[in-house]
């Protein structure tokens, strides 16, 4: 009966939304006949570590186009099982596995640029200038030729190809790749893992100037606060067991995890301050004992060793972001958004505050008693990697963008019917388990996080973003020589 009542409430809520939404598109205000979406992995519909058809069909741009019955909307579809190794829930224990990364392009021969030109891993400079894999790095290099196909089209960068479409409406979506790499790698260095403000400002301004000269109607996204996504907010700075804080029997206070900074001379590990962010990368280290006092777990081989605060020479990422770096990242994100707002005002494009959407998502959207929120693994909106959305999340973003267009362009576009995303995980089924919002108990939750964030997976995430990669990298002990990853594991000395 509870399930039936929930279904009834959802049906009534969706019916009310449909009743408020006109059936016919408002072509005079917003013409979506030829959408051009320039973006990154979030725009591409990347989720749970992969790019695959059964989620691409529910990218935010595809949802918007489908809601408006756009006749010819094209994406660089990758046939299932996709590319990247889609993460799959294999049991409720829980355990996870990866599908093979053997997907093939479905419409590679399209004789024009795609409408969705998003390339996973690309930052704003890549969107403006990069045309082939040789001109970028990270995931941007892995996917750019699949999307831009310049060996055949010779049509230039994402921005150039968007202009070549003669678009009727433009989306410029860059939600954080200019500094997300700092968080994924755990290494915060301006000019290395963080794009300096001056080139970011210049590239954003140049991009919007070029786009607006061709199509004056469009939306530009602000960047997200990369310190407030599930990847950085899920794990506490204290030791847990079974999902509960472990208390010091002498003081009754939680036991802090161990890190390498602020320690007395000669002491390699000491308590991290409670203001420290512990990223999901820590799940790759904690099972070995990193960050855990030997007094608590003497049998773990790496107890009394600190969780790393920066990537090491072998490519193993850091797992701690201390307060000073958190403040730097927050300020840089705010400065990026100030630059975006100024460029938007100059070009006439409307600024979409993605942080406002994420704050509302964190609070939760209620649908007939079912709440979708930003909680890792249980909220339904974020996938296993902690920063890409699920098909439900992409549909919610699309619906929010439609409401934004209705408010800012005097349009009356129809809202997204969310039924298929809530009940089926997406129009094509989504990914098994990736859109699940069933609660996990504390022990299952900890096992799930550790099953997902293996050392190999943490290394792969850290290498996703397109950023300069100098031969020397900065660790806690100063400059060290970069070597190729996978030369040693976290369980080795």
Domain boundaries, the chain: 29-229+324-424, 233-322+441-468
What's the pLDDT at 10?
Answer: 41
Q: Which residues contact 362 (CB under 8 A, 6 or more apart)?
A: 228, 373, 374
Rg (CA), the chain: 23
The token duo for 481 is 């020589």
Fill in the DSSP letter of residue 172: E
The token duo for 449 is 């996080």
Nearest to 325 by CA among 366, 293, 279: 279
Task: State the CB neighbour count (10 A cutoff) for residue 472.
Answer: 12
E-only strand ranges, 192-263: 218-221, 240-241, 244-245, 258-259
Instruction: With H, G, I as helix, E, B as strand and everything else as coil, classify residue 186.
Output: coil
- The CA-based angle 73-121-455, given to 5 degrees, is 130
CA separation, residue 342 to residues 37, 132, 220, 350, 399 (Å): 21, 30, 11, 11, 26
Q: Is 106 exposed, middle or buried (0-12, 13-18, 19+ CB in 10 A)?
A: middle
Dihedral sign from CA coordinates of 464, 465, 469, 474: negative
CA separation, residue 267 to residues 236, 288, 490 (Å): 23, 20, 21
What's the pLDDT at 438?
Answer: 58
Q: Which residues contact 302 (CB under 8 A, 6 or more apart)?
A: 285, 288, 289, 290, 490, 491
Per-residue pLDDT of the chain in tens (493 residues, 90 and over written 9): 344 344 434 443 444 444 344 433 433 489 999 999 999 999 999 998 899 999 999 999 999 999 999 999 999 999 999 999 988 877 656 677 889 999 999 999 999 999 999 999 999 999 999 999 999 998 999 999 999 999 999 999 999 999 999 999 999 999 999 999 999 999 999 999 999 999 999 999 999 999 999 999 999 999 999 999 999 999 999 999 988 999 999 999 999 999 999 999 999 999 999 999 999 999 999 999 999 999 999 999 999 999 999 998 888 999 999 999 999 999 999 999 999 999 999 999 999 999 999 999 999 999 888 899 999 998 999 999 999 999 999 999 999 999 999 999 999 999 999 998 988 888 887 765 444 455 678 888 898 899 899 999 999 898 887 554 433 333 444 443 333 333 334 444 3
Characterise 173 by phi-psi region: left (phi > 0), alpha (psi -120 to 50), beta (else): beta
Cα–Cα dist 42/52, whole Å:
13
What's the pLDDT at 439?
Answer: 63
Cα–Cα dist 406/17, whole Å:
14
Nearest to 158 by CA among 122, 134, 194: 122
Cα–Cα dist 181/191, whole Å:
12
Letter string b/e over residues 375-407, b meaning 16 or more CB atoms within 10 A of that residue's CB: bbbebbbbbbbbbbbbbbbbbbbbbbbbebbbe
What's the pLDDT at 88?
Answer: 80
Q: Which CATH class, in words, describes the domain spanning 29-229+324-424? A: alpha beta
| 55 CA to centre of own chain | 14
What's the pLDDT at 26?
Answer: 39
What's the pLDDT at 430?
Answer: 72
Task: State the CB neighbour count (10 A cutoff) for residue 307.
Answer: 27
The token duo for 40 is 């990154």
The token duo for 104 is 């093939």
What's the pLDDT at 93?
Answer: 63
Relative to beta strand 320-321, strand 277-278 is antiparallel
The token duo for 466 is 């397109």
Whether 155 contacts 148, CB under 8 Å: yes
pTM given for the model:
0.89
CA separation, residue 462 to residues 12, 144, 155 (Å): 44, 19, 30
């Amino acid at each position: 009966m509870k399930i039936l009542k929930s279904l009834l409430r959802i049906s009534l809520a969706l019916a009310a939304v449909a009743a408020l939404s006109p059936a016919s598109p408002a072509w005079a205000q917003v013409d979506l006949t030829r959408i051009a979406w320039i973006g990154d992995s979030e725009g591409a519909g990347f989720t749970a570590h992969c790019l695959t058809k059964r989620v691409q069909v529910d990218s935010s741009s595809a949802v918007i186009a489908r809601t408006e019955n756009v006749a010819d909307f094209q994406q660089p579809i990758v046939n299932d099982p996709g590319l990247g190794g889609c993460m799959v829930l294999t049991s409720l224990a829980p355990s996870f596995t990866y599908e093979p990364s053997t997907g093939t392009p479905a419409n590679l021969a399209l004789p024009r640029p795609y409408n969705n030109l998003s390339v996973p891993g690309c930052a704003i400079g890549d969107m403006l200038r990069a045309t082939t894999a040789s001109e970028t790095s990270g995931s941007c290099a892995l996917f750019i030729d699949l999307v831009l196909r310049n060996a055949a089209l010779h049509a230039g960068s994402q921005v150039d190809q968007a202009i070549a479409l003669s678009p009727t409406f433009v989306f410029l979506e860059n939600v954080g790749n200019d500094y997300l790499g700092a968080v994924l790698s755990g290494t915060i260095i301006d000019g290395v893992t963080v794009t300096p403000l001056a080139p970011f400002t210049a590239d954003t301004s140049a991009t919007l100037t070029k786009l607006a000269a061709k199509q004056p109607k469009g939306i530009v996204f602000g960047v997200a606060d990369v310190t407030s996504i599930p990847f950085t907010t899920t794990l506490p700075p204290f030791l847990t067991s079974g999902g509960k804080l472990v208390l010091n029997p002498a003081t009754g206070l939680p036991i802090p995890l161990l890190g390498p900074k602020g320690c007395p001379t000669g002491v390699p590990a000491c308590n991290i301050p409670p203001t420290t962010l512990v990223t999901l990368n820590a799940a790759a280290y904690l099972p070995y004992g990193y960050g855990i006092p030997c007094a608590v777990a003497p049998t773990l081989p790496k107890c009394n060793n600190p969780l790393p605060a920066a990537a090491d020479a072998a490519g193993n990422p850091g797992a701690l972001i201390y307060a000073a770096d958190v403040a730097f990242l927050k300020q840089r994100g705010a400065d990026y958004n100030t630059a975006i707002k100024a460029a938007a005002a100059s070009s006439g494009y409307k600024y979409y505050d993605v942080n406002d959407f994420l704050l509302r998502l964190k609070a939760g959207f209620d649908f007939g008693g079912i709440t979708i929120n930003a909680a890792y693994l249980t909220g339904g909106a974020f996938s296993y990697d902690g920063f890409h959305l699920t098909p439900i999340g992409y549909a919610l973003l699309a619906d929010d963008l439609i409401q934004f267009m209705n408010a800012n362009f005097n349009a009356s576009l129809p809202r997204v019917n969310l039924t298929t995303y809530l009940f089926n995980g997406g129009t094509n089924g989504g990914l098994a388990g990736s859109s699940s919002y069933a609660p996990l108990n504390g022990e299952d939750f900890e096992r799930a996080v550790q099953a997902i964030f293996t050392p190999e997976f943490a290394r792969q995430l850290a290498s996703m973003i397109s950023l300069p990669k100098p031969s020397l990298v900065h660790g806690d002990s100063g400059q060290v020589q970069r070597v190729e990853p996978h030369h040693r594991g976290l369980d080795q000395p």
